[in-house]
Structures are given as C-alpha cells and as structure tokens.
C-alpha cells in the first residue's frame, strides 16, 4: 500500500486511499437505500434525555411497524448509552460475509453502538473527531441493517464533528427531532441545534420537551421544577412544531436503567402513550411529505 505524504501538517492521500473512500461511500449509499426513513435525534447539550427519547420513539415505531423494521444507531462514540437502555450491554456484534449484523433489543429493534466494541465497562474511547467520524461512517456502510422502515440516529450532544458527519454522509436525512428541557440555558443551545439542522438542509420534524413537569406520586400535585412553557416558546420563536412534552418521572429513568424503556415495559402508561403519539405524528408528517 502506498503511504500518504505529509506536508504542512496535512496528509496527501494516495489513489488507493481515495479508492477505499469511494468504496465506503458506495456501501453507505447502498445500505441507506434499503432504509425508508432516516431520522436524527439531536440536542444542543447533554443530559436532556435525548437518548431516552430516541429509544422510546424507536420502540413506539416498532410497536406499529413490527419487529426488525426499526433500527437505532448510537452515534455517541465516547458516551454510548443506548445498549444499557435497551438491555443489551455486553452483547457482541456478529459478522458474516455481507458485513456486521446489529444486535436485537426489545420489540425486535436493531441496535448498533460503539459500546459493543469496547472490551470493558471502564474502557474509554479517547479519539479525536476525525477518528470518531470515520467510525460512524463505518457503522453506516458496514452494518447489515437490512430493509428498515426507520433508522433513528442518536447523535452525540451538540453540533460538532460527529453530528456533521452523520448528516453529511447519509444521502438523504428525512428529518431531525430536537430534544430539550425547559431551562434558559437549554433554550439558548437548542436554538443552535435548530439552526444547525437548517443549515444542513435537514427538515426539522419538531421539538420534544423533556422533563417538562413533575407530578407528585403521593398527592398528584404538578410542579414545574424547571421553567414552564419553554417548548412552546422555542417552537414559536423558531417556527418549528412542538411534538410533545414528556414529564419528569422516575418511571422513565428506572425503566431505562433496567434495560426496558417505558414504551416496552408499560405501553399503557400515559408517558408511553405520549411517546406513541409523538411517533405517530412523526410518521404522518413524513408520509405527508413523501
């Protein structure tokens, strides 16, 4: 193999490297062509419940389309949390001649995450942006997702390298869901996420406001622990749809920690029903636009 020539701190790549890049590009195209709808889930900052929303929406879509029709790609290379939330931590990805096969979670949701490739719980991924971006491109091109109705891509928080790679690598991202919590800090960064999606010409399906309110399990009183109305305000200011509000509720975190998120463990729960409603709205928005 020819080696890249270094000049001015950059690497001039040889024809063989360019060829390998083209091959991967073709694979990504072929793999993504089998997936009817690709949705990215993003947030301006971490800890707002982006992964929680992504897994529950994936399960809600699987509830209506059936097993093996929905996939979830955990594109958070340094902080993967999807396998834990879907109870498949420690599973090893299987591979065969066509490529690498995803793991299966509750309701037959297909899952791929960096977490499956780490040798132990404590192993951190200490990679710079370009390496993380190429791992994501490998996930897009080398994984045998098969035919899917939906692929949800849980992006790392913020508007950095990896988010950009995903959106630019997929020939057509059908929509973005932006998750936020009702706080001023979050409000500020969520606007950046909205603008980020717009600049990349990704249709914004809407905002999900998470941790919107807290209902006391003993007395039923509703408390606005964070500020109320942020979702509506952002939606109005930015001209995007408010898809729904998820309350702050220990059942949401307990079920995710136990590896069976609320939509899978208690589909009749009002919060599970809200997730189903959001998934239905997303589905009808996309059907209407195609």
Chain positions contacting ligand ADP, by CB under 6 A: 43, 46-52, 81, 157, 210-211, 246, 248-249, 252-253, 256
- Smaller CB distance to ligand ADP: residue 101 or 214? 214
> Smaller CB distance to ligand ADP: residue 202 or 256?
256
Nearer to ligand ADP, 183 or 253 (CB): 253
* Min separation Cβ 143 and ligand ADP, Å: 21
If the CB atoms of residues 151 and 179 are measured against ligand ADP, the closer one turns out to be 179
Closest distance of CB 246 from ligand ADP, Å: 5
Please tell me the distance from the alpha carbon of residue 74 to that of residue 114, in angstroms, as a whole number.
Answer: 7
Comparison of 43 and 202: residue with beta carbon closer to ligand ADP: 43
Compute φ and ψ for 23, nearest 5 degrees: -60, -45
Min CB(215)–ligand ADP separation in Å? 11
Instruction: Closer to ligand ADP by CB, 32 or 45: give it.
Output: 45
**219 vs 227: CA distance, rounded Å:** 21
CB of 179: closest distance to ligand ADP in angstroms?
A: 6
CB 169 to ligand ADP: min, Å: 21
Q: How far is the CB of 271 from ligand ADP (least distance, A)?
A: 7
d(CA 242, CA 257): 27
Least Å distance between CB 15 and ligand ADP?
41
SS (H, E, C) the chain: CCCCEEECCEEECCHHHHHHHHHHHHHHHHHHHCEEEEEEEECCCCCCCHHHHHHHHHHHHHHHHCCCCEEEEECCCCCCCHHHHCCCCCCCCEEECCEEECEECHHHCEEEEHHHHCCCCCCCCCCCHHHHHHHHHHHHHHECCCCEEEEEEECCCCCCHHHHHHHHHCCCCCEEEEEECCCHHHHHHHHHHHHHHHHCCCCEEEEEEECCCEECCCCCCEECCCCCCHHHHHHHHHCCCEEEEECCCHHHHHHHHCCCCHHHHCCCCHHHHHHHHHHHHHHHHHHHHC
């Amino acid at each position: 193999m020819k080696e890249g020539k270094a000049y001015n701190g950059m690497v001039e790549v040889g024809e063989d490297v360019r060829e390998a890049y083209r091959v991967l590009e073709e694979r990504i195209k072929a793999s993504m062509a089998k997936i009817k709808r690709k949705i990215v889930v993003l947030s301006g900052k971490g800890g707002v419940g982006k992964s929680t929303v992504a897994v529950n929406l994936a399960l809600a879509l699987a509830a209506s389309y059936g097993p093996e029709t929905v996939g979830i790609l955990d594109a958070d290379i340094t902080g993967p949390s999807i396998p834990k939330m879907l109870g498949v931590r420690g599973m090893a990805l299987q591979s065969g001649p066509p490529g690498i096969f995803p793991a299966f979670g509750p309701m037959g949701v297909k899952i791929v995450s960096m977490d499956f490739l780490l040798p132990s719980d404590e192993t951190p991924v200490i990679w710079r942006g370009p390496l993380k971006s190429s791992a994501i491109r490998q996930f897009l091109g080398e994984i045998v997702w098969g035919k899917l109705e939906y692929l949800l891509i849980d992006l790392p928080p913020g508007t950095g390298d990896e988010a950009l790679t995903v959106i630019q690598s997929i020939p057509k991202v059908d929509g973005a869901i932006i998750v936020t919590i009702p706080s001023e800090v979050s409000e500020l960064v969520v606007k950046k996420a909205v603008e980020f999606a717009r600049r990349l010409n990704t249709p914004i399906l809407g905002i999900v406001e998470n941790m919107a309110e807290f209902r006391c399990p003993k007395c039923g009183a509703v408390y606005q622990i964070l500020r109320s109305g942020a979702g509506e305000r952002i939606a109005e200011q930015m001209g995007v749809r408010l898809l729904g509000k998820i309350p702050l509720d220990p059942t949401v975190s307990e079920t995710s920690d136990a590896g069976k998120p609320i939509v899978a463990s208690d589909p009749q729960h009002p919060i599970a029903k809200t997730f189903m409603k959001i998934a239905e709205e997303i589905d009808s928005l996309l059907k209407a636009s195609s």
